Structure 1
């Protein structure tokens, strides 16, 4: 069974964006891009693949599917990038979009939990949950693994990694990839009761 992996940049105090949704305070160094190129190249959007000279064949591919919420998807779509991850099957969860903005993107208009459960039952590699926080909150019980790109900045307020009501979910640390400015920490859901 495939895993749903919430792979996201986060501050030291657990925020993925400022209160207004911006994230320009994340200023990772070149070690960050080196880590991503080496370990998660398929998570780079199309223009980044080209900029980093990553060709069609890449090693260490973990994902073959990406799921985004509407707000996260619209960051790229607002600048004309509608096929953001051409190497991955792409899904956008939105009850307000009406129609898919690109033939390469499948719209999930209702029951995202059911849709993710179906995707997890399919054969293939893991599923990259690209964001955002509202979708992560909706899919929290389906998230099998967290891959946190921890940036050395504390912001005090903003959009949290998860939100919603108090509901402890237990994970265990399984891997750390450390760079000079960013560490990538992987956590696996333990299945342990709250």
Structure 2
């Protein structure tokens, strides 16, 4: 069975964007765009670079390493639409979850049904891992299906904003299975679900 991985950048205090949403990479000083962590992330997760930017990073013909499918919520998808990207991840099967949208652009698949059932269906299919790129509402909706969380923690305190999970207080334990610290101050922490 395939695994669902929530791979996301956060501040030290666990925020992934401004409270109202929007593209967190467009907020000056929020996430560090330069540094030694970038080479490692490009090596380990080349799929996370949007298709249009892959040639700029020397990833034009790089095969998918970890993921062949990406899922996201409406607000995350609309961040790409706002900058003219109908499908930011053409190199992956791309699904957008929304109960209010009526159509998606390009090859993007719109899912208007129960996200948990759809994720379970995806996990039963053959293939590589499934990448949950965002956002907080979808992450919370499929929280019980997340097998792995990869946190790209930046050395920044936001003070407020959108949390990694937008939901109820319900503590769950994860096991730290891998970690790396970089001179840039970024930590990449991989956690796996502890089965009860």
The superposition leaves residues 84-103 of structure 1 with CA deviations (integer Å, 9 ceiling, x where unpaired) of 1121100000111101222x
| Residue-pair matches, total | 190
Cα pair 2:21 2:75 within 8 Å, conserved: no
Task: Determine the C-alpha separation between the residues in 2 that align with 1:100 and 1:163.
Answer: 24
Q: Does the residue aligned with 2:159 lie in a helix, a strand or coil? A: coil
The superposition leaves residues 132-167 of structure 1 with CA deviations (integer Å, 9 ceiling, x where unpaired) of 001001011111100000000111111111122111
Task: Determine the C-alpha separation between the residues in 2 that align with 1:116 and 1:188.
Answer: 17
Match of 1:123 among 113, 123, 126: 126
Match of 2:143 among 128, 133, 140: 140
Task: Determine the C-alpha separation between the residues in 2 that align with 1:148 and 1:111.
Answer: 26
Cα deviation, residue 47, structure 1: 2.4
Task: Determine the C-alpha separation between the residues in 2 that align with 1:163 and 1:100.
Answer: 24
What pairs up with 1:94-113 in 2 under 5 angstroms?
A: 94-102=98-106, 104-113=107-116
State yes or no: 1:27 paired with 2:32.
yes
Corresponding residue of 1:183: 187
Cα deviation, residue 57, structure 1: 2.8
The superposition leaves residues 56-77 of structure 1 with CA deviations (integer Å, 9 ceiling, x where unpaired) of 1347x10000001010011111
State yes or no: 1:171 paired with 2:161.
no
Cα deviation, residue 170, structure 1: 1.1
State yes or no: 1:3 paired with 2:3.
yes
Cα pair 1:13 1:156 within 8 Å, conserved: yes
> Superposition RMSD on alpha carbons, in Å?
1.3
Q: Does the residue aligned with 2:147 lie in a helix, a strand or coil? A: strand
Structure 1: runs of 5+ lacking an equivalent: none
Corresponding residue of 1:14: 14
Structure 2: runs of 5+ lacking an equivalent: none
